Structure 1
Amino acid sequence: MSKAFQRIGLIAKDGDERVATVLHALVALLDRRGLNHVLDQRTAAALPDWPHKAEDAETLAGDVDLIIAVGGDGTLLNTARVLAARPVPLVGINLGRLGFLTDIVASRAADDVAAILDGRFTRDMRHMLSARIEREGREAEADLALNDVVIQKADGGRMIEFETWVDDTFVSLHRADGMIAATATGSTAYALSGGGPILHPDVDALALVPICPHTLSDRPLVVPGNSRLRFVLRGDERTRAQLNWDGQKTHELIAGDRVELQRSKEKTTLLHPPGYDYFALLRSKLHWGRAQEEQVPR
């Protein structure tokens, strides 16, 4: 067993009856191994008669060696933002629909976590993004994202108009429903549904994907991962837009706001169980080759 993991944090999504089953199986595993464990308070509050210790997520993040996130990719994304100040390794157990980040299926949770506790895992470092809103020369809001930062219209009506700059070089003036700035991690999320490319996690790049652009030649653009991006919202008092980080946090934008975005010094560390294969994950989640009934070479 790896001596690196002696105190384990458990964070789970709300409102899913399967959570309790998975958590009890994990706690039984940890108890058998004599490892300390703690649940975050929000999760514990949703579980009737949970008998184990609970802490708020921020305190938990500073008090454990490993965190297991039980839920969908959204649960892991939110956990990654909470952990950003202290890069505790993350393990994801999938109770959601796709599970690009939470790659352990619930039926194998105890077995795969046991392997990770034994030191048999793949360590995967993922870049994060730092995005801030500047309004009239002052910072209005700032936060981190693992998947993507999105500027988008805030109502169901008019497009928004905004400038895009890369490293202080003007790229274009866009009229669209918005723009997705995605890391390689986020390239299989909102950016993919918007027609963007899939970037392998080892590729140090950002994908800029326009959302429903007015000009059909306004296509996705891949730029170096260390680029400094700036979006400037044009318009008037009728302009309604917003910025969101990983779909978890949203802040209003008004005409004249500048969104400054660049790679953060913080990173997210993911631990995958033995046998992890990124391309096998893509085949499974995106159903590649299913129609042709292709066989995987042996």
Structure 2
Amino acid sequence: MIADLTAPQHILVIPNADLPKALSLAEEIGNFLTQKGIEHRVFPLHREHSGQKPDLRGWDMVLTVGGDGTLLRVGHLCVLQGLPLLGIQAGRLGFLSELTDATWQEGLARLLAGHYHVERRMALYAELVQQGAITSCWDVINEVVVARGRIVRPIEIRVDLNEGYMTSYMADGLIIATATGSTAYALAVGGPILPPELRNMLVLPIAPHLSLERAVVLAEGAEVCLHAQCDHEAILSVDGMSPVTLKAEDEVRIKANPNSLRMVRFGEPNYFYNRLAAMMQNNPILKQNNYD
């Protein structure tokens, strides 16, 4: 069902600056918005400039032009600001994106008429605690991963749930994923697919050895604390970002984020399953690489 919502009047367009197609499409989108009398700005985002962040203050909505990686990078900022996000696919993988280079004009026309709805997806909040002090924190859209480093040897990961012991894994790593993340890394290691609106965490080991092998879906509101216990390197990675090296006494605390990722949608409620089936049956990355 499509709700009639307020049409945005101030739109920030963020293309992946490393993709010529995305830059060209963003220029077309800018011209379209100009013709419609919509205030906008195009802010190209460079992958190599990891500290580069657009100022989201004063905007009603954000449009990304690129793949899922671009959407995730911008999504972290939108979670903080509570801004709705609309993805336009121009990269290799666009499972999270709502529009393509063939449908964006029709989609933006509907957007400016207020004919859309906002899907709220749970995000996580993760903290790295070292020697009793919080040294880093992240807003998480897909997953938190604690894993072995360069040495090909499993690590022991203790999991505390709601301040009580849950279990320990001997594995290459452990994934704590959102419903959104259940179709990312977690899916690649055999995890279940969760409906996007579900507000539960998914716990899934990577290559477990004599440990609990199955994925576990935690109750809504659960809080998790991870401890990597090993005599060799262990790492922490959030949403595929550059890893952080962990020490034996470090803790990784994870809980539901009070803010949600707000995704602009035009389709019917079952869009997720239709899109998932199409994506799984016709992998766009394999097609682009011409694997026969």
Question: Does residue 1:27 correspond to 2:30, yes or no?
Answer: yes
In 2, Cα distance between the equivalents of 1:91 and 1:133? Answer: 30
In 1, Cα distance between the equivalents of 2:30 and 2:72? Answer: 23
Offset, 1:58? 4.8
Task: Check 1:275–1:162 CA distance in 2 against 1; reply closer, same or farther (3 A cut).
Answer: closer
Contact 2:5 2:116 in 1 (8 A): no
Question: Does residue 1:284 correspond to 2:278, yes or no?
Answer: yes
Match of 1:251 among 209, 231, 244: 244
Task: Check 1:3–1:226 CA distance in 2 against 1; reply closer, same or farther (3 A cut).
Answer: closer
Offset, 1:202? 2.2
Q: For 1:1-298, what aligned pairs fall within 5 Å after superposition?
A: 4-40=7-43, 42=45, 58=53, 60-215=55-210, 217-236=212-231, 239-275=232-268, 277-287=271-281
Contact 2:128 2:252 in 1 (8 A): yes
Which amino acid is 2:39 matched to?
N
Contact 1:151 1:179 in 2 (8 A): yes
Which amino acid is 1:252 matched to?
T
Contact 2:121 2:198 in 1 (8 A): no
When the two structures are superposed, what TM-score results if normalisation uses the length of structure 1? 0.86
Offset, 1:250? 2.9
140-149 or 241-250: bigger deviation: 241-250
Q: Deviation string for 1:228-273 (max 9, x for gaps)? A: 001111123xx21111111134322111111110001111110012
Which amino acid is 2:202 matched to?
A
Offset, 1:95? 2.1
Offset, 1:59? 5.1
110-119 or 123-132: bigger deviation: 110-119
Offset, 1:41? 5.3
Aligned CA RMSD, in angstroms, stands at: 2.3
In 2, Cα distance between the equivalents of 1:42 and 1:75? Answer: 8
- Identity, % of aligned pairs? 28
The DSSP-based 3-state class of the residue aligned with 2:80 is: coil
Which amino acid is 1:61 matched to?
L
The DSSP-based 3-state class of the residue aligned with 1:79 is: helix
Task: Check 1:156–1:10 CA distance in 2 against 1; reply closer, same or farther (3 A cut).
Answer: farther
Q: Deviation string for 1:189-218 (max 9, x for gaps)? A: 000001111000122211111011112652
In 2, Cα distance between the equivalents of 1:102 and 1:119? Answer: 19
In 2, Cα distance between the equivalents of 1:4 and 1:138? Answer: 44
In 2, Cα distance between the equivalents of 1:121 and 1:275? Answer: 10
Q: Deviation string for 1:24-70 (max 9, x for gaps)? A: 22112101110111122546xx9xxxxxxxxx975531121010011
The DSSP-based 3-state class of the residue aligned with 2:81 is: coil
Offset, 1:4? 3.9
The DSSP-based 3-state class of the residue aligned with 1:64 is: coil
Paired positions, count:
276
Contact 2:116 2:265 in 1 (8 A): yes
Gaps of 5+ in 1: 47-55, 289-298
Which amino acid is 1:16 matched to?
L
In 2, Cα distance between the equivalents of 1:30 and 1:274? Answer: 22
Task: Check 1:191–1:221 CA distance in 2 against 1; reply closer, same or farther (3 A cut).
Answer: same
Gaps of 5+ in 2: 283-292
The DSSP-based 3-state class of the residue aligned with 2:240 is: coil
Task: Check 1:14–1:108 CA distance in 2 against 1; reply closer, same or farther (3 A cut).
Answer: same
In 2, Cα distance between the equivalents of 1:133 and 1:89? Answer: 28
